[in-house]
């Protein structure tokens, strides 16, 4: 399960960089880091409560519900709050912390936290590329997808394919030879 999470984190980082380029916005490296760390709270839950977390994951897969809701039910908090707490303690840019806290709530929101909105899109695209982490990413609104030029089936597939290619290239660097 740790490997699935690492694969998801790397692909989200790469997707964030691509989406930032599409928006022609500053902060590509900040976006990359946000993607890499957005689910770091899952790693803490996974290692802190491996049996409980595996049960939650199985339930999420069976019922098709959101991991974040199951975490709230089981622990009274979720991986986004753990992520924010960790990032704060590491003195990482507070904008990244805020985006991590909101990455499951701003994907269909008003875009007031742009980094969180991009994270929501990156998360969704990674799921489409079979590089997700359980059933956690809802589809962003059509208006949000249009901002990134992914508003048709063809353009969406093209982006998903680009993420797969980037992931295959970059993950090769970390594989033991
Ligand atoms: Fe998440
Ligand atoms: Fe994620």
Which pLDDT tens digit goes with each residue over 37-81?
999 999 999 999 999 999 998 998 888 888 899 999 999 999 999
Contacts of 69 (CB under 8 A, 6+ apart): none
Instruction: Answer for the pair 169, 17: CB distance below 8 angstroms, yes or no.
Output: no
Confidence of residue 165 (pLDDT cuts 50, 70, 90): very high
Query: Is 109 a residue whose pLDDT tops 60?
Result: no
For residue 100, the CA-to-ligand 2 centroid distance in Å is 10
| Distance separating alpha carbons of residues 52 and 57, to the nearest angstrom | 9
Phi-psi region of 141 (alpha: psi -120 to 50; beta: other; left: phi over 0): beta
Confidence at residue 72, expressed as pLDDT on a 0 to 100 scale: 94
CATH of residue 91's domain is 1.10.3210.10
For residue 137, the CA-to-ligand 1 centroid distance in Å is 8
Range of the domain at 41: 2-174
For residue 104, the CA-to-ligand 1 centroid distance in Å is 6
Confidence at residue 106, expressed as pLDDT on a 0 to 100 scale: 55
Confidence at residue 45, expressed as pLDDT on a 0 to 100 scale: 94
For residue 68, the CA-to-ligand 1 centroid distance in Å is 7
156 closest CA partner among 144, 170, 168: 144
Average pLDDT, whole number, for the chain?
Answer: 88
What total of structural domains would you count in the chain? 1
For residue 30, the CA-to-ligand 1 centroid distance in Å is 17
For residue 173, the CA-to-ligand 1 centroid distance in Å is 25
Long-range Cβ contact pairs of 68-75 (< 8 A, separation 24 or more)? 68/104, 68/136, 71/45, 75/45
Task: Report the helix count and the strand count for the chain, using DSSP H and E.
Answer: 10, 0
Mean pLDDT over residues 126-148, rounded? 86
């Amino acid at each position: 399960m740790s490997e699935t999470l690492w694969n998801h984190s790397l692909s989200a980082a790469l997707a964030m960089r691509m989406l930032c380029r599409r928006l022609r916005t500053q902060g590509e490296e900040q976006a990359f880091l946000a993607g890499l760390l957005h689910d770091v709270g899952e790693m803490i839950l996974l290692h802190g409560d491996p049996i409980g977390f595996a049960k939650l994951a199985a339930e999420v897969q069976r019922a098709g519900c959101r991991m974040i809701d199951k975490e709230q039910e089981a622990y009274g908090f979720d991986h986004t709050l753990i992520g924010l707490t960790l990032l704060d303690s590491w003195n990482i840019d507070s904008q990244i912390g805020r985006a991590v806290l909101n990455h499951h709530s701003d994907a269909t929101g008003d875009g007031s936290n742009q980094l969180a909105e991009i994270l929501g899109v990156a998360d969704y695209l990674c799921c489409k590329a079979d590089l997700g982490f359980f059933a956690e990413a809802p589809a962003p609104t059509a208006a949000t997808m249009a901002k990134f030029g992914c508003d048709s089936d063809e353009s969406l597939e093209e982006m998903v394919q680009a993420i797969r290619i980037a992931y295959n290239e970059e993950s090769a660097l970390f594989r033991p030879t």
